[in-house]
């Protein structure tokens, strides 16, 4: 793998890397941090997070970024690959006492050059709504901590809404708020709205409408992150109990579940077309899960410690036709696919659906996603057609081609009555772009839906009792330096416990919820580079760059191939590093 090599070379920070698109370069002049540029001592503090918004102003420089470091929150003009960062002039800076910011999110719908709505979650459980342009603090939610006293782990505006937002806590609860409503002066009283295995949703009983509008209780332990699907209709949640749960947001129906190999799941993201989700967590793996089929498609092993962020890159796609010698589509088709990532949710979905429903398949598209972890490494991955559509003859399976198989039924919109196929007889899998391995089996992607939609994916999980799920807490003691490649005897014993208890429905290893390692393709990263001194906590794909950040409080910009112009040399010294 890309990380092999010994001694000093392994510990050097990389400042550039190459993929099939070309050379990505770290841009020292575009580094953002606290104004004094002093590395933050991160012991005991919450992860550094970064949020972006574009103000749609006429200057052509409408990008803004917000980031938290310790007790501090900063709001800057983001100049990206174009100009050097000016850290002496933050638009807004806030220092909090007694609590720390943990996460934040801009409302992209209402953002203008004069005003922007920013939600900030805190370690003591409060959520603040501020306008860093007008320098106003609009409202404080859960101010008296009557709704939830635990740390806010994730906050997001509900897609398409100017006033609704969702907040997750380390208590395992999520709350739906409306910015127009108050939180009341007493603790809320709840009434059960809907209940299913592993989750319950309550409404707030009150004479007048108040926050929270809804309370979701999901799984066991902390709810670490959630993400809305590109069309806003589905909600994916990952929890400390190791489960991914995908809900239909408006009807609060459980669409499907997945279990980590072991330990908690820490992060989740959707593909641009809503067909796949990727998770990362304490098993050091990235896991690709099919939204349509409700099953694990592949796992990726490249990190040596917990995976903290996963993200799809909507701007990178590989276009290849079935015969590598010539392109049989029109130039318009080629450009259409090449630039599909630049269009947001609906147009991306419609283009991919149109490509899926074509009678011939002159081209194929590769999904690109990335991950960063506590091992300070950035990994990039390609999700290719030999993994997603294993029915292809072996001669058709090629590395770096992909995924839009004409035989796969098109999904017009991820929200419209998607059914979950049951399992058919498993075919052998070709394994290009994956680790050396014997041929393995997996569930078919074109099997019938006779097993009953969601029920087939959830039935095993639905038999879990509360007591059984509590028994799984012993799996949480996975250490940060523990790697899939070097499983200790103690960990082996732990895995054996799961194996021996396969008849117990609470033990999911070897089931559809959590296939064995040998039962699904194992991906290798295209790129796996150490890019920081401290654990990485941010990975964001922008059109002309990739943004990463580490716990020392440095936000780094990696210029995409061909996107870095001739810039004046930075006045500050470049960080030490090596060229790969």
Q: pLDDT per residue over 400-418, tens digit each? A: 433 333 333 333 333 433 4
pLDDT, average across residues 436-450 = 34
CA 508 to each of CA 261, 468, 484, 502, 517: distance values in angstroms, whole numbers, following the listed order: 9, 11, 18, 7, 13
- Is pLDDT of 441 > 60? no
pTM of the predicted model, to two decimals? Answer: 0.74
- Is pLDDT of 397 > 70? no
Q: What is the pLDDT of residues 168-184, one digit of tens each?
A: 999 999 999 999 999 98
Q: What pLDDT band is residue 510 in, cutting at 50, 70 and 90?
A: confident
The Cα 421–Cα 423 span in angstroms is 7
The Cα 405–Cα 297 span in angstroms is 15
Q: Are 348 and 499 in contact (CB under 8 A)?
A: no
Share of the chain above pLDDT 90, in %: 59
* DSSP state letters, 497-541: HHHHTTTSTT--BTBTTB--GGGS-EEPPSEEEE--SS-EEEEEE
- Is pLDDT of 436 > 90? no
- Is pLDDT of 84 > 80? yes
Q: Are 519 and 438 in contact (CB under 8 A)?
A: no
- Is pLDDT of 38 > 70? yes
Note the pLDDT of residue 363: 52
Note the pLDDT of residue 538: 98
Q: Are 341 and 314 in contact (CB under 8 A)?
A: yes
The Cα 274–Cα 278 span in angstroms is 11
Query: Which range is least confidently modeled, 420-424, 474-478, 556-560?
Result: 420-424
Number of neighbours of residue 425 by Cβ within 10 angstroms? 8
Tokens of 381: 């991955």
Tokens of 468: 């059984």
The Cα 123–Cα 137 span in angstroms is 18
Pairing of strands 189-196, 50-54: unpaired
The Cα 270–Cα 268 span in angstroms is 7
- How big is the chain by its Cα radius of gyration, in Å? 23
Query: Which range is least confidently modeled, 293-297, 343-347, 367-371?
Result: 343-347
Q: Any residues with CB less than 8 A from the CB of 54 and at least 6 apart, and which?
A: 62, 63, 64, 108, 111
Residue with token string 């995924």: 403
Note the pLDDT of residue 137: 74
Tokens of 457: 């994916």
Tokens of 207: 């004479």
What H or E segment, with its residue span, contains residue 356? Answer: helix 345-356
Query: Which range is least confidently modeled, 267-271, 335-339, 565-569?
Result: 335-339
- Is pLDDT of 104 > 60? yes
Q: Are 152 and 103 in contact (CB under 8 A)?
A: yes
CA 10 to each of CA 356, 377, 550: distance values in angstroms, whole numbers, following the listed order: 42, 11, 18
Note the pLDDT of residue 30: 94
Range 394-402 contact pairs with CB under 8 angstroms and sequence separation of 24 or more = 394/430, 396/322, 397/430, 397/432, 398/320, 398/324, 398/432, 399/432, 399/433, 400/20, 400/318, 400/320, 400/366, 400/433, 401/318, 401/320, 401/364, 401/366, 402/318, 402/364, 402/365, 402/366, 402/367
User: Of 87, 70, 88, 89, nearest to 28 (Cα)?
Assistant: 87
The Cα 317–Cα 337 span in angstroms is 8
CA 341 to each of CA 510, 519, 543: distance values in angstroms, whole numbers, following the listed order: 35, 31, 9
The Cα 63–Cα 54 span in angstroms is 4
Residue with token string 């039962």: 519
* DSSP state letters, 50-72: EEEEE---TTS--EEEEEEETTE
Q: What is the pLDDT of residues 292-343, one digit of tens each?
A: 999 999 999 999 999 999 999 999 866 455 443 333 334 444 344 334 433 4
What average pLDDT does the chain have? 76
> Dihedral of CA 252/256/262/267: which sign?
negative
Query: Which range is least confidently modeled, 116-120, 214-218, 389-393, 453-457?
Result: 453-457
């Amino acid at each position: 793998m890309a990380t092999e090599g010994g001694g000093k070379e392994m510990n050097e920070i990389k400042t550039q890397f190459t993929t099939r698109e070309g050379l990505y370069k770290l841009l020292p002049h575009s580094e953002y941090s606290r104004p004094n540029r002093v590395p933050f001592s991160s012991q005991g503090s919450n992860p550094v997070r970064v949020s972006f918004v574009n103000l749609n102003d006429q200057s052509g420089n409408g990008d803004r970024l917000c980031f938290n470091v310790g007790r501090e929150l900063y709001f800057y003009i983001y100049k990206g690959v174009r100009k050097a960062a000016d850290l002496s002039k933050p638009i807004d800076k806030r220092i909090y006492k007694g609590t720390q910011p943990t996460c934040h999110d801009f409302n992209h719908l209402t953002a203008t050059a004069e005003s922007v709505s920013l939600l900030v979650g805190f370690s003591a459980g409060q959520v603040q709504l501020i306008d860093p342009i007008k320098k106003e603090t609009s409202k404080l939610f859960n101010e008296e901590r009557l709704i939830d006293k635990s740390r806010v782990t994730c906050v997001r505006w509900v897609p398409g809404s100017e006033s609704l937002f969702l907040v997750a806590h380390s208590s395992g609860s999520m709350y739906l708020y409306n910015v127009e409503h108050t939180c009341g002066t007493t603790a809320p009283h709840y009434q059960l709205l809907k209940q299913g295995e592993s989750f319950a949703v309550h409404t707030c009983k009150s004479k007048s409408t108040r926050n929270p509008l809804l309370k979701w209780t999901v799984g066991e332990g902390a709810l670490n992150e959630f993400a809305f699907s590109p069309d806003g209709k589905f909600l994916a949640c990952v929890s400390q109990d190791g489960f991914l749960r995908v809900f239909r947001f408006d009807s609060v129906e459980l669409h499907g579940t997945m279990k980590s190999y072991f330990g908690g799941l820490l992060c989740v993201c959707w593909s641009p077309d809503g067909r796949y989700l990727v998770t990362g967590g304490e098993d050091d793996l990235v896991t690709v899960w099919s939204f349509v089929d409700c099953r694990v498609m592949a796992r990726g092993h490249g990190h040596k410690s917990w995976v903290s962020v996963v993200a799809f890159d909507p701007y990178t796609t590989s276009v290849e036709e079935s015969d590598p010698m010539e392109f049989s589509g029109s130039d318009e088709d080629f450009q259409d696919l090449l630039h599909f990532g630049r269009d947001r949710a609906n147009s991306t979905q419609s283009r991919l659906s149109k490509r899926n429903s074509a009678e011939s398949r002159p081209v194929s598209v590769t999904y690109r996603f990335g991950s960063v972890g506590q091992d300070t490494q950035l990994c990039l991955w390609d999700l290719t057609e030999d993994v997603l559509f294993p029915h292809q003859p072996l001669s058709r399976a090629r590395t770096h081609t992909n995924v839009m198989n004409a035989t796969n039924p098109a999904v017009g919109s991820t929200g419209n009555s998607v059914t979950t196929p049951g399992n058919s007889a498993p075919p052998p899998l070709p394994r290009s772009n994956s680790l050396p391995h014997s041929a393995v089996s997996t569930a078919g992607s074109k099997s019938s839906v006779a097993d009953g939609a969601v029920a087939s994916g959830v039935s095993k999980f639905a038999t879990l009792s509360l007591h059984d799920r509590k028994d799984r807490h012993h799996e949480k003691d996975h250490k940060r330096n523990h790697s899939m490649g070097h499983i200790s005897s103690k960990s082996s014993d732990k895995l054996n416990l799961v194996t021996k208890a396969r008849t117990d429905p609470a033990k999911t290893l070897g089931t559809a919820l959590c296939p064995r390692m040998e039962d699904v393709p194992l991906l290798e990263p295209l790129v796996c580079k150490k890019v920081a001194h401290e654990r990485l906590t941010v990975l964001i794909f922008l059109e002309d760059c990739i943004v990463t950040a580490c716990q020392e409080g440095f936000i780094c910009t990696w210029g995409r191939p061909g996107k870095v112009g001739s810039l004046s040399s930075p006045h500050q010294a470049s960080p030490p590093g090596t060229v790969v």
